[in-house]
Structure 1
Amino acid sequence: MTAGGDVGGHPVGPDVAEAAVPRPGPVRRFLLRRPGLVDAAVVTVFTGWALLLGLGADSMYWLHEVLGGPRVLLMQVTSAVLTLAGAVALVWRRRRPVLVAAVMTVLGVLSLALTGATNGFELGVALALYVVATTAPPRTLLAAAGASVLALLVGARVLPLARTVGAKSLGVDPDDADAFAAVTGSGPFGFATSPAWFAMAAPVVVLALLAVGLGTLVHARRQRVAALAEAARARAEEHAQRTRLAQASERAQIAREMHDVVAHSISVMVALGGGASAAFDWAPDRARAALDELVDTGRAALGDMRRILGVLHDDDGDGPAGDAPLEPQPGSLDLPRLVGRARTAGLAVRTSGLAVTGLDALDPALQLAVYRIVQESLTNTLRHAPVATDVEVDVRRRADAVEVVVTDRGGTAPATAGPGSRRGLVGMTERAAAFGGTVEAGPYGQGWRVRALLPWNEGDA
């Protein structure tokens, strides 16, 4: 993972994930924030269209001549009442789209029965079906659209007043039986050749198809946007999880480094302090030398700690991290100095392989692992066998691996430290595992032996 949040070379940060989701345009955002404005516009369009057809249609003038003014006035009032009911129903189309579609269909059939025309309810049904298409599953949409269209088409075919108004709209006198039958059809399947029925059916079918088609497209787009949003959320969560894992890994590495530095340095300092105290009266020069070495060890430990803690801060030169010297991690060239401190602390250490040719050319991370394994092994010896009679550090570079063996033969006095936390052993194991290696640690005679095998190849050198 890079600092920019790339995984596998592909950016997956929250900003990139959010950018992958299509954003609505300014007009759509304006309307989405104001659903009440959209509802008012829908109700206004339907009401205006329905009143225009219900109160000002040519059929009303013809009916006025045939039926008389009072009855036509009653039909106009009925049309207005039905329109008002439809307008109220449309306000609820977002919450109960299927129910509103059913109500608009019933009102449309009533309009056919009482006024002889749909009077704009085909538009009301289409508006309701659009919402059904954008929110309901396909099966529900098919049932709602089919039932609504079928009810209006059947009503236009079988209701007497609807047949009469349909014929009149084509200029046919309903009193002319032959002409009336010709335009309205006769027999059970007469609608197939009925121009009047087709004139009423066409707006119903066309508007329903447009509503269902447009609503289906909008529904598909919403699903696609939702899927993209979910994918973006998943990528953002994956990015956050990777970041958390990386931070946890860094914290674990810092904790491991701190353990190695602090445990070793304090063990050496305790041994030096004890030796200086014991030699203070009979060998003051040796006590003074031990104290000087103790101070040097403390300073070195403090420098290591500041360097390790520096990774917790931005490298901008400000604060404690900016004051810490930028020194390289310890490596194979530092092994003799490490062994020297252990000898000064009182351990009898014999070494072999520390000057192996090419060991210092290995990967710095591999060198650090070798250094820390030797350091932790000597630290454990200082803590648990401070008077070991023989400690041997053997570092060998094989053809395909680096082998580290640290052996103590046991001491003549009991250890001064209590049971360890085993964090050191865990840290050594983790360091070796990072290179595909292994660590074996256990009793060896009266003492203890640690053997680590770290694979390497020519590419590491």
Structure 2
Amino acid sequence: MRAEGGETRLSEDLRLPKPPGFIRSYFNRFPWVLDSLIAAGYVVPMGAVSLVAFVASLFGASPFTDDPIRSTPVWGLLMLYTTAAVTVGLLFRRHVPFVTATICAAAMLVSAPVTNQIDAVPMMFALYALAVYRSARAAWLWTLIASAVGIASTVLSDPFDLASIVGYGLLMTMLMTIATLVGITFGNRRRYIQALLDRAQQLARERDQQAQLAAAAERARIAREMHDIVAHSLTVIVALSDGAEASIERSPETAKEAVRQTGITARRALTDVRRSLGVLTEPDGRGGGAAPIAPQPGLADLPELIASFRAAGLPVRFTTSGEPPADLPLQVTVFRVVQEALTNALRYAVQVTAVDVVLRYVGTPGGGSAVSIEVTDDGVDPGRGASSAGSGRGLIGMRERVAVYGGTVSAGPAGSRGWRVNATLPSTPHDPGGPR
């Protein structure tokens, strides 16, 4: 009951229109039925009057007026054609309201003074259609025209009867004004409902687009994470395995240590993969209990990361300066950039004697931290003779991560020997609502 009351209050606050009843719903679904009824309501009495006038005009008489012009067959035939034209105009008033209004105004002049009261009715429907299906400005303009035509028809009937002219003119003006006001009211309601429907459709489209963008962003994030985990771990495992194979006879202890490091790296990678897949498949993010939740790697994990590369045979020298930032997402970005740069050096650099990792932290008055990352190796012809071909996803991932902070990444040869990766993250505090 409380929920129903809340929905009622919400509807009242939003000023939502009442849904149409059965009759309105039926005529909304079948508008031709209503238009046919209106046309029939006009053509039955007016058709009878026009037929009587036509038959009487064949004998040179008119049962409605003493005017000799209206006692000719031409005028009787014109009455029949006018009645037919108004009937067709009423049938198509929704589609051509201007044409319908013109026909109805002309009919008021033709039928004067015989059926002015009857021909005022289709003119009112024409004004209603103008207000609903075109605009209020057009309806008011034709209200003035219809009132003027009504007065002119009275003047044509009896130009010396001032009382009839004034009285009929006021009556026509009042009737046309009422029809226009009713049309404007229903037209505004119709446009309001249509605006609500259009807005709802627009919101639905925007919701679907946002969902698609969010899904694409999430897929890109997952791809970056899986690339960082798999590429780094497999690269280290391959290097350790090659080192163990090469030293198994010459230095069994070194080979044994390499195999041990291979197992450690493989188990760590397996745990990370299970954790990532568990986040995707389990609501609680625990992957069914297969791998416990652990925080993302940060700056405190860099020594362990560098140690794993050293164990794989990469001579890494690590240097830092300044106060590390406390922003955890920024730390993850720094960690992943260093990880990717070292992975590329291990995979592609040939005859490496030194790899320098330099991190510079610069605090800012606003509480942010500007970070500069530089990873340089002295390998000969980097990338040539590597055992695996790269897909370029690693550099793309680095650029996307750094772009979150408005930073830049550059990668290229370091002179005639070596390769340098340089990333700069400006001192812009991380936006929690931004992409991860």
Provide the C-alpha distance between the structure 1 equivalents of 2:95 and 2:408, rounded to a whole number of angstroms.
Answer: 65
Verify: 1:343 aligned to 2:310, yes or no.
yes
Provide the C-alpha distance between the structure 2 equivalents of 1:454 and 1:149, rounded to a whole number of angstroms.
Answer: 74
Q: 1:122 aligns with which of 111, 117, 120?
A: 120
Verify: 1:452 aligned to 2:420, yes or no.
no
String of CA shifts for 1:291-327, please: whole Å, max 9, x gaps.
3322322222222233334454462469x57744322
Provide the C-alpha distance between the structure 1 equivalents of 2:182 and 2:282, rounded to a whole number of angstroms.
Answer: 54
In the other structure, the counterpart of 1:172 is: none
Larger radius of gyration: 1
Contact 1:50/1:119, CA 8 A, preserved across alignment: no
Q: 2:294 aligns with which of 304, 321, 327?
A: 327
Verify: 1:195 aligned to 2:193, yes or no.
no
TM-score, scaled to structure 2: 0.73
Contact 2:405/2:428, CA 8 A, preserved across alignment: no
In the other structure, the counterpart of 2:399 is: 429
In the other structure, the counterpart of 2:411 is: 441
Q: 2:223 aligns with which of 255, 270, 275?
A: 255
String of CA shifts for 1:277-296, please: whole Å, max 9, x gaps.
22233444433432332232
Amino acid at match of 2:420: R
Verify: 1:397 aligned to 2:361, yes or no.
yes
String of CA shifts for 1:215-266, please: whole Å, max 9, x gaps.
2343344444444544554444444444433333322222222222222111
Provide the C-alpha distance between the structure 1 equivalents of 2:15 and 2:205, rounded to a whole number of angstroms.
Answer: 15
Range with greater deviation from structure 2 (331-340 or 379-388):
379-388
Provide the C-alpha distance between the structure 1 equivalents of 2:389 and 2:139, rounded to a whole number of angstroms.
Answer: 73
Q: 1:25 aligns with which of 11, 19, 30?
A: 19
In the other structure, the counterpart of 1:378 is: 342
Contact 1:53/1:119, CA 8 A, preserved across alignment: no
Amino acid at match of 1:405: E
In the other structure, the counterpart of 2:176 is: 208
Q: For residue 342 of structure 1, report the CA deviation from its aligned partner.
A: 0.7
Aligned to 2:376, the other structure's residue is in SS state: strand
TM-score, scaled to structure 1: 0.70
Verify: 1:135 aligned to 2:133, yes or no.
yes
Cα gap change, 1:84 to 1:202, in 2 (>3 Å): farther
Cα gap change, 1:146 to 1:331, in 2 (>3 Å): same
Amino acid at match of 2:241: G
Q: 1:369 aligns with which of 333, 346, 350?
A: 333
Contact 1:393/1:407, CA 8 A, preserved across alignment: yes
Provide the C-alpha distance between the structure 2 equivalents of 1:365 and 1:81, rounded to a whole number of angstroms.
Answer: 82
1 or 2 for the larger relative contact order (CA 8 Å, sep ≥6)? 1
In the other structure, the counterpart of 1:406 is: 375
Cα gap change, 1:264 to 1:223, in 2 (>3 Å): same
Provide the C-alpha distance between the structure 1 equivalents of 2:167 and 2:275, rounded to a whole number of angstroms.
Answer: 88
String of CA shifts for 1:130-160, please: whole Å, max 9, x gaps.
112322356754665455443332222223x
Identity of aligned residues (%): 35
Number of aligned residue pairs: 396
Cα gap change, 1:322 to 1:208, in 2 (>3 Å): farther
Verify: 1:305 aligned to 2:276, yes or no.
no
RMSD of aligned residue pairs (Cα, Å)? 4.4
In the other structure, the counterpart of 2:34 is: 38
Cα gap change, 1:86 to 1:434, in 2 (>3 Å): closer
Provide the C-alpha distance between the structure 2 equivalents of 1:110 and 1:411, rounded to a whole number of angstroms.
Answer: 101
Provide the C-alpha distance between the structure 2 equivalents of 1:227 and 1:393, rounded to a whole number of angstroms.
Answer: 59
Aligned to 2:275, the other structure's residue is in SS state: helix
Q: For residue 375 of structure 1, report the CA deviation from its aligned partner.
A: 0.8
Provide the C-alpha distance between the structure 2 equivalents of 1:409 and 1:374, rounded to a whole number of angstroms.
Answer: 16
Provide the C-alpha distance between the structure 2 equivalents of 1:412 and 1:266, rounded to a whole number of angstroms.
Answer: 22
1:171-186 matches, cutoff 5 A: 185=160
Amino acid at match of 1:450: V
Q: For residue 80 of structure 1, report the CA deviation from its aligned partner.
A: 10
Q: For residue 432 of structure 1, report the CA deviation from its aligned partner.
A: 2.7
Aligned to 1:289, the other structure's residue is in SS state: helix
Q: For residue 369 of structure 1, report the CA deviation from its aligned partner.
A: 1.3
Contact 2:85/2:103, CA 8 A, preserved across alignment: no
Q: Structure 1: any 5+ residue segments left out of the alignment?
A: 1-15, 56-62, 164-183, 186-190
Amino acid at match of 2:216: A
Cα gap change, 1:399 to 1:51, in 2 (>3 Å): closer
Cα gap change, 1:131 to 1:322, in 2 (>3 Å): farther
Q: For residue 387 of structure 1, report the CA deviation from its aligned partner.
A: 4.2
Provide the C-alpha distance between the structure 1 equivalents of 2:429 and 2:147, rounded to a whole number of angstroms.
Answer: 79
Verify: 1:294 aligned to 2:262, yes or no.
yes
In the other structure, the counterpart of 1:8 is: none
In the other structure, the counterpart of 2:101 is: 101
Provide the C-alpha distance between the structure 2 equivalents of 1:38 and 1:274, rounded to a whole number of angstroms.
Answer: 87
